[in-house]
Amino acid sequence: MSKPKKAEVPVRRVSRQREAGEATRKETRRQVLIAARQEFAERGYSAATVSRIAERANVAVQTLYSSWGSKRALLRGVMETAITGDDDTLFGDTPPVAPLLRAVPADVRGDAPAYVRHIAHQFRVLAERATVGWQTYRDAAAVDPEAAEDWQQLMAMRREGFRMIVAQIPKDKLRPGLTPDLAADTAWVIASPDTRDQLIRRAGYTYDQMEDWVRVTLTAALLK
């Protein structure tokens, strides 16, 4: 007598279940990330706790660790998603230049002053979005050697990104004697987290005023 055949599970049902599981995991990661951003903004890196982040996200602590691995990984996620402007998108090892180069208007291409104005505006947008990440990373770097190493890596990636950004300016538009590499480092220093900190936190500038300062300073420093 032959054995009864096992009932086959429809492939589409399995596929849908897998898709639903992936969507749930993705949403959990996103909610944990949002909770971490709130916790870091309120308490800083040292005082923030994984248990409180998990409570904010309404997940178990083990779920948080399964999703992100550590508090430091969450901080990196907060920083990277702030740079990309999307809670679902990390940039990994790619230089994070997309926010500064995104949607360059057609009338800006080839117009060096307008391009610098575009860079200044995109830096302002990024500075507003990345404030929590920048401040928290500074705090973390002071007490956590691995976070300090992360911060240095991010700054090196930002420097490389500015080389790509400034490469879009024709050499004949740069100030005499200014090489593309020197121009990139000049922009890297002017449009930096330190500039945001000095002008916004310490000098009391508004973001509009900071953007105007960055635009004027970059124009004078880079262009003929």
* pTM for the model: 0.80
DSSP three-state, residue 1: coil
Most trustworthy range by pLDDT among 79-83, 100-104, 172-176: 172-176
Burial class of 48 by CB neighbour count within 10 A (0 to 12, 13 to 18, 19+):
buried
Rounded mean pLDDT of 98-120?
Answer: 80
Residue 152 lies in a domain: yes
Average pLDDT value for the chain: 87
- Do residues 52 and 38 lie in contact, with contact meaning Cβ atoms separated by under 8 Å? no
Q: pLDDT at residue 3 above 70?
A: no
Residue 63 CA to residue 32 CA, distance in Å, equals: 9
Q: Which residue in this structure is represented by tokens 């951003």?
A: 37
Residue 87 CA to residue 58 CA, distance in Å, equals: 18
Q: Which residue in this structure is represented by tokens 């990345």?
A: 130
**Amino acid 17: pLDDT:** 62
Q: pLDDT at residue 98 above 80?
A: no
Q: Which of 158, 129, 144 is nearest to 70 (CA)?
A: 144
Residue 2 lies in a domain: no
Residue 82 lies in a domain: yes
CATH number at residue 132: 1.10.357.10
Percent of the chain at pLDDT exceeding 90: 61
Q: pLDDT at residue 14 above 70?
A: no
**Amino acid 196: pLDDT:** 95
Give how many domains the chain has, as a whole number: 1
Residue 5 lies in a domain: no
**Amino acid 112: pLDDT:** 95
Please report which confidence band the pLDDT of residue 109 belongs to, taking 50, 70 and 90 as the band edges: confident
Residue 170 lies in a domain: yes
Please report which confidence band the pLDDT of residue 12 belongs to, taking 50, 70 and 90 as the band edges: low
Residue 157 lies in a domain: yes
DSSP three-state, residue 223: strand
Q: State the virtual CA torsion across 37, 39, 45, 48 in degrees, nearest 10.
A: -150
Q: How far is CA 116 from CA 82, 121, 146, in A?
A: 22, 9, 35
Written as one letter, the residue type at 16 is: R
The pLDDT tens digits for 185-205 are 999 999 999 999 999 999 999
Residue 4 lies in a domain: no
**Amino acid 108: pLDDT:** 81
Residue 184 lies in a domain: yes
Structural domain including 121 reads 11-222
